[in-house]
Structure 1
Amino acid sequence: MKILKRFAVAFFAAATLGTVSSCTKGFEELNINPNQNPNVIPETLLAPALTDLVKRNMDRAMRITNELMQVHVTRDNTDEFHRYVIRSAEADYMWNGWYTQLTDFRDMYNSAVAVKSPTFMAIARICEVWTFSLLTDTFGDVPYSEALQGRAGNLQPKFDKQEDIYRDLFVKLEEANDLLKANTNLGADQAQLDPLFQGNALKWRKFGNSLYLRLLMRVSNRTDAIAPGNMSPQAKLRDMVNTRPADYPLIANNSESAIMRWSGTAPYQSPFQTWRTADFVSSSSMSEFFINNLAEWNDPRLPKWATLAGGIYKGVQSGYVPGQIPAPQSTYPAALMTEPLLGNILNYPEVQLLLAEAALRGWITGDAKAYYETGATNGITLWGLTPPTTFLSSPDVKWEATSPTATKLDQIHLQKYYALFFTDFQQWFEYRRTGHPVLPIGPGVRNNGQMPARINYPVYVQSLNQVNYQAAVADQGADDINTKVWWQL
C-alpha cells in the first residue's frame, strides 16, 4: 500500500507539476544537432508536444465531445456520454496529458529566452495559452500560477480562480503578439520542425490572435475588466477588430487555419490510423441531428463524414431509452481514420463565425450576415468541396434580416458546430457558453436532461492535493459535472 501511495505521489508530481517531458517517440531523427544540448533547443520540443496534444484531443473528441454533442451515438446498453453521464475516471487522461505538454511548452519558452529567439518565445506562449484554456474550460479552477513547479519542490500547487487564469492568458497572448511583430521567420532547419506553420511567423501571429478572439468570446458573458488595459471582453474585441485591426491580424483564409495536417507518415499520423477499422466504425452510428441538417442542406460534407445505410444517410436518436438499442445506421467512413483535416485546432470558418456573433451582439461593428455567410461557405471549401448554389438559401441556413436574434445565433452556432468537427472540446464549450445549437433531448437522457457543465477533478488530485482541492471546491462549488465554471451564467 505504501508503494502504491508513493507511486501515486510521483505520478501526480509528474503529470501535474512538470517533472517529466512528453514522449518523443518517432521524433528522434528530427533533432537537428545531436552535439547540442536539447534542453536549450526550443525547436526539439515543439513537434512532439504539439503532435501528442492534438492526438489526445482528437481521441477525446471521438470519445466524449462527439457523443455529448450528438455527432455520433454509441450503440450499447450502458449509460454513455450521449445520456449526459460522465464517470469520474474520465478526468485523468486530459488532466495528465495537458499538464505534461504544458511542461514542454514552458521549457520551450525558457529555452527560447536562453537562445534569444523571440519567435519561439511567442510560439511557446501561444501553445501554453491554448493548453491552459483547454484545462480551465474543462475543469474550471485549476493549478496555474504554481503549476509546473515540481522540479522546484512544489508538489501541492494552489488552484487559481478561472477569472485570474483568463486574465493572465490574455497577458500572454499580448506578449506573443508583440514578439511576433518583427515577423522573423524560423530558419530552414527550425522550420522543418514546425508541423503547424513551417516557421512562418505571421501565420503563428494570426493563430495567436485568433485564439485571443476565441477566448474573449468564451468569457463574453462576463463584463469584468479582465483584458489588458482594464478592458472588458467586449471592449477588447472592439479594440482588436475595429480600432487596431492591423495590430491584431487574424486568420484570413482557409490556408492559414491552424490544423495539424496529418501526412500519414510517422510521426505525423492520425491517432486513428492505428485503430482497427471495426473499432472506428462499428460501435456507433451517426446521430439524427448531425445527419439530418447536412442532408437537408444537400451539404457535400455529408459523404465525407458519414456512410450510406441502406442507400440513404440515416442517423439514430441520441439519448435513446436504455435497452432499446437502435439498428445500425450511417457510420463514420473508414477514410476519416487518416483524414488530415481532423487535426484541426482553430480554423478560418470558426474565426468568421465568432466575428458574426460579436457583430450580431453589437460588440464590434461589421456585417454579421457577411461574416456568417463567409464562415458557413468556408466550412465547406475547407474540405476541398464546393457549396451548392442553393446552400445559402437553404432552410435554417438563409439569413433573414427580420429573424429574431435567438434564431440568428442558432444559425451561427449550427454552422460553427460543423466547422468544429473533431476539434477537441470546442463544440461542448460553445454549447455551455451559449446554449446553441439547440439539441434535441432523447427520452433516455440522464442528469435531469442537463448538459454537463464541466468534468470533475481527477480522484487522485483530491487525495494528493487535498487542502488546495478543498479550497477550490469551496470557491467554485461542488466537484461534480453540474457546477458551472466562472464564464458560464
Structure 2
Amino acid sequence: MKKIKLFALSALAVTCLATSSCTKDFEELNTNPNASEAATPASLLAPALHDVVTRNNNRALRLNNELMQVHATVLNNDEIHRYVVRPGESDYMWNNWYLQRTNFVDIYNSALLTQNKSYMAIGLILDVWVTSLITDMFGDVPYSEANKGRDGVLQPKFDKQEIIYKDLFAKLEEANALLAAEIAAAEAAGKFPTLPEAEASLDPLYNGNLPLWRKFGNSLYLRLLMRTSGRPEAGAAGKIREMVETNPGFYPIFSNNEESAILRYTSTLPLVSAFTNLRDYDFNGSHGLTEFFIDNLNEMEDPRLTRWATLFGSVYSGIPSGYAAGNIPERQSTYQVALKNEPLLGNIINYAEVQFILSEAALRGYITADPKTYYDQGVTAAITMWDLGVPAGYLEKEAVAWNEAGGFEDKLEQIMLQKYFTLFFTDFQQWYEFRRTGHPVLPIGPGVQNNGLMPSRFRYPVVVQSLNGANYNAAVAEMGGDDINTKVWWDID
C-alpha cells in the first residue's frame, strides 16, 4: 500500500471546521500550496478508515469497556466504572470522528464529480457509520451544516437526532442502489464487480469487492434500524421486514463470517493496531477483567476465554466493578497481551451481530421467523469467527440453550448477553445497545455514583460552548440539558 500524506488538523481546527466559529482567514492560512486541491477517493479511504477504527479501539479500552464491565480499573483515581464521566472525555471522539467524517464526505463528493458510483456508495456508507457514532454518543449534533468549514460555515446548527437518522437511512438506500447498478453492469459485461486493480489495492476492508461493500452497507442499515425501532415514527419494523422477508434480493446482508466488516490489523505499517506500541502494562496492567465478564464466560464454558483472558493461578477469575473508593480489589484475570495485535479487534460490524439483530427482530415480531434459529447461528458464528471450534453439545448447555419457555425479557437477555460478547472491542456498541435495551443486566457495585444510573450520553465538549455558543444553547434547550442522564431520541426506556 502506498504511503499517503494526510493534512492533519489540530483539535481546535477540527472543532472549527466541524462545529464552531473561527476567523475567516483560517482556510487561507492552512492551505498547502504544494498539495492537490482534492484528494482521490481511493487515496482517502485507507487512512481515514484506519484512523477511525484504531481510535475507536483506544476509547473502547478506556471508556466503553469500563462502563460495560468488561474490565475495571485498579487505579483509584479512574472512576469510569463508577459512572463518573468528566466533560473532557468527549473531546477525543468529537474531534476525531468529525475530522474523518470530512474525509468520508470528500470521498463521496470527489466521486460525484466523476460519477464514480462505487466510491460514491463507499463514501456514503462510511459517512453513515461515523455519523451514527457521533449522534449515538451525544444526541443532537451538527450534521447538515457540519464539515463545511471550507465553505465558510463555521458555526453550524445542531440537527435533531430523528432528522439525522432519517437522512442516514436515505444515504444507505442510495448507497445500496448505486452498488446494485454497478454490480449489475459488471455482471452483464461478464466481469466480477470490483474496483479497478490499482484502487482495489488501496481498499483495506474488502480489496475492492463491491458485493461485500453492499452487504456491509445493508448490515449497518439493520443495526441502525434496530437502534431506532422503539420509535414508531422511524418506520424501522416495516423496513426490517422488507429487507429480510419482502425484498431480500435487493438488500443483501452478511451471510458468513468471512463477509464481516473487519479492518484486519497487520504487524507492519500502516495497518497496525491501536495498541501495538503500548507497553504491556498500559494495555492490561492497570485493570482486571470483571466478575460479570469472566463469570458469564465461565458458566457458558465459552472457548473465547482462552483467547481473551489470562489465567489467575489455574482458573479464570474476575474482580467486581463499581467497588467502593479505596477498596481496590486484587487484579486477577487480565487481557491476553496477544490482543494488542489481534486482527479481529478491527471489527466494525460482523456476521454474528447481524444474526443477533435478526433474532431480536423475530422475537419482537418484526419478521416471521423463529428467533432461536438466528440465535443459534449467532452463537456459533461468534465463536468460529475467532478460529475456535464450537464444543460438542454447546448449544444445548443450560447457560447457552435458547429458553423457549422464557418470557420476552428472558429471551432478550439471552440475545443481548451473547451480542455483548460479540461486540468485544467494537467501539461503543455494547454501551449503545445497553442504553437501548437495558440488557444484558449488569450488577451495580457499592461505589457506583450517578444514583446507580448508567450514563445515557456524553456531554458536549466544553470548547463547543465557547466557539458555537448560540447553537449549543439551542441544542441543549431542545434536548433538555447537556447532562450524562439526558436521553437521546431513540432511547425511550
Q: Would the TM-score normalized by the shorter structure come out above 0.5?
A: yes
Shift of 1:9: 6.3
Match of 1:299 in 2: 302
Match of 1:472 in 2: 475
Shift of 1:401: 1.6
The residue matched to 2:348 in structure 1 has which SS? Answer: strand
Q: Of 447, 458, 476, which residue of structure 2 is paired with 1:444? A: 447
Match of 1:131 in 2: 130
Instruction: Kindly provide the CA deviation profile for residues 73-102 of structure 1, in whole angstroms up to 9, marking residues without a partner as x.
Output: 101212511111111000000000000001
Percent of matched pairs sharing the same residue: 58
Match of 2:45 in 1: 46
In 1: Cα distance, 2:58 partner to 2:78 partner = 20
Unaligned runs of 5+ in 1: 1-6, 21-34, 227-231
Match of 1:26 in 2: none
2:310 counterpart of 1:311: no
In 1: Cα distance, 2:354 partner to 2:423 partner = 11
2:113 counterpart of 1:114: yes
In 1: Cα distance, 2:373 partner to 2:143 partner = 39
The residue matched to 1:52 in structure 2 has which SS? Answer: helix
Shift of 1:387: 1.2
Query: Residues 223-242 of structure 1 correspond to what in structure 2 (within 5 A)?
Result: 223-224=232-233, 226=234, 232-242=235-245
2:415 counterpart of 1:412: yes
Match of 1:462 in 2: 465
Q: CA RMSD in A?
A: 1.7
Kept in 2: contact 1:16–1:96 (CA 8 A): no
Letter of the 2:259 partner, please give it: E
Match of 2:427 in 1: 424
In 1: Cα distance, 2:37 partner to 2:427 partner = 30
In 1: Cα distance, 2:360 partner to 2:478 partner = 31
Shift of 1:178: 0.3
Kept in 2: contact 1:136–1:142 (CA 8 A): yes
The residue matched to 2:288 in structure 1 has which SS? Answer: strand
Match of 2:155 in 1: 156
Shift of 1:38: 7.5
In 2: Cα distance, 1:371 partner to 1:155 partner = 47
Shift of 1:400: 2.3
Instruction: Kindly provide the CA deviation profile for residues 134-158 of structure 1, in whole angstroms up to 9, marking residues without a partner as x.
Output: 0000000000010111111111000
The residue matched to 1:272 in structure 2 has which SS? Answer: coil
Letter of the 2:399 partner, please give it: D
Instruction: Kindly provide the CA deviation profile for residues 106-147 of structure 1, in whole angstroms up to 9, marking residues without a partner as x.
Output: 111111112221001000000000000000000000000101
Match of 2:283 in 1: 280
Q: Of 202, 210, 215, which residue of structure 1 is paired with 2:211? A: 202
In 2: Cα distance, 1:389 partner to 1:449 partner = 40
In 2: Cα distance, 1:216 partner to 1:396 partner = 29
Letter of the 2:391 partner, please give it: P
The residue matched to 1:130 in structure 2 has which SS? Answer: helix
In 2: Cα distance, 1:124 partner to 1:68 partner = 31
Structure 1's 293 and 202: CA in aligned 2 closer, same or farther, altered over 3 A?
same
In 1: Cα distance, 2:480 partner to 2:264 partner = 39
Shift of 1:12: 2.4
Letter of the 1:193 partner, please give it: L
The residue matched to 2:198 in structure 1 has which SS? Answer: helix
2:326 counterpart of 1:326: no
Letter of the 1:43 partner, please give it: A
Kept in 1: contact 2:17–2:147 (CA 8 A): no
In 2: Cα distance, 1:56 partner to 1:8 partner = 14
In 1: Cα distance, 2:290 partner to 2:322 partner = 10
Match of 1:379 in 2: 382
Letter of the 2:268 partner, please give it: T
The residue matched to 2:232 in structure 1 has which SS? Answer: coil
Query: Residues 8-23 of structure 1 correspond to what in structure 2 (within 5 A)?
Result: 10=13, 12-14=15-17, 16=19
Kept in 1: contact 2:140–2:160 (CA 8 A): yes
Match of 1:391 in 2: 394
Match of 2:143 in 1: 144
In 1: Cα distance, 2:238 partner to 2:263 partner = 32
Shift of 1:323: 0.5
Shift of 1:483: 0.3
In 2: Cα distance, 1:298 partner to 1:274 partner = 32
In 1: Cα distance, 2:112 partner to 2:447 partner = 54
Structure 1's 104 and 467: CA in aligned 2 closer, same or farther, altered over 3 A?
same
Kept in 2: contact 1:196–1:258 (CA 8 A): yes
Kept in 2: contact 1:191–1:199 (CA 8 A): yes
Shift of 1:11: 5.0
Match of 2:231 in 1: 222
Kept in 2: contact 1:359–1:367 (CA 8 A): yes
Structure 1's 164 and 11: CA in aligned 2 closer, same or farther, altered over 3 A?
closer
Match of 2:63 in 1: 64
2:196 counterpart of 1:187: yes
Shift of 1:10: 4.4
Kept in 2: contact 1:40–1:112 (CA 8 A): no
Kept in 2: contact 1:15–1:97 (CA 8 A): no
Instruction: Kindly provide the CA deviation profile for residues 341-366 of structure 1, in whole angstroms up to 9, marking residues without a partner as x.
Output: 00000000000000000000101111
Unaligned runs of 5+ in 2: 1-9, 28-33, 184-192
Q: Of 338, 344, 347, which residue of structure 1 is paired with 2:350? A: 347
Match of 2:406 in 1: 403
Kept in 1: contact 2:18–2:146 (CA 8 A): no
Kept in 1: contact 2:20–2:464 (CA 8 A): no
The residue matched to 2:208 in structure 1 has which SS? Answer: coil
Q: Of 252, 264, 268, which residue of structure 1 is paired with 2:267? A: 264
In 1: Cα distance, 2:399 partner to 2:391 partner = 15
In 2: Cα distance, 1:75 partner to 1:10 partner = 35
Count residues with an aligned counterpart: 463
Letter of the 1:424 partner, please give it: D
Letter of the 2:142 partner, please give it: P
Kept in 2: contact 1:40–1:114 (CA 8 A): no
Instruction: Kindly provide the CA deviation profile for residues 446-485 of structure 1, in whole angstroms up to 9, marking residues without a partner as x.
Output: 1110000000000000111011001101110110100000
In 2: Cα distance, 1:119 partner to 1:17 partner = 32
The residue matched to 1:486 in structure 2 has which SS? Answer: coil
2:211 counterpart of 1:212: no
Instruction: Kindly provide the CA deviation profile for residues 34-53 of structure 1, in whole angstroms up to 9, marking residues without a partner as x.
Output: x9958252100000000000
Letter of the 1:189 partner, please give it: A
Shift of 1:389: 1.4
Shift of 1:162: 0.2
Instruction: Kindly provide the CA deviation profile for residues 287-324 of structure 1, in whole angstroms up to 9, marking residues without a partner as x.
Output: 00100111111111001100001111000000011111
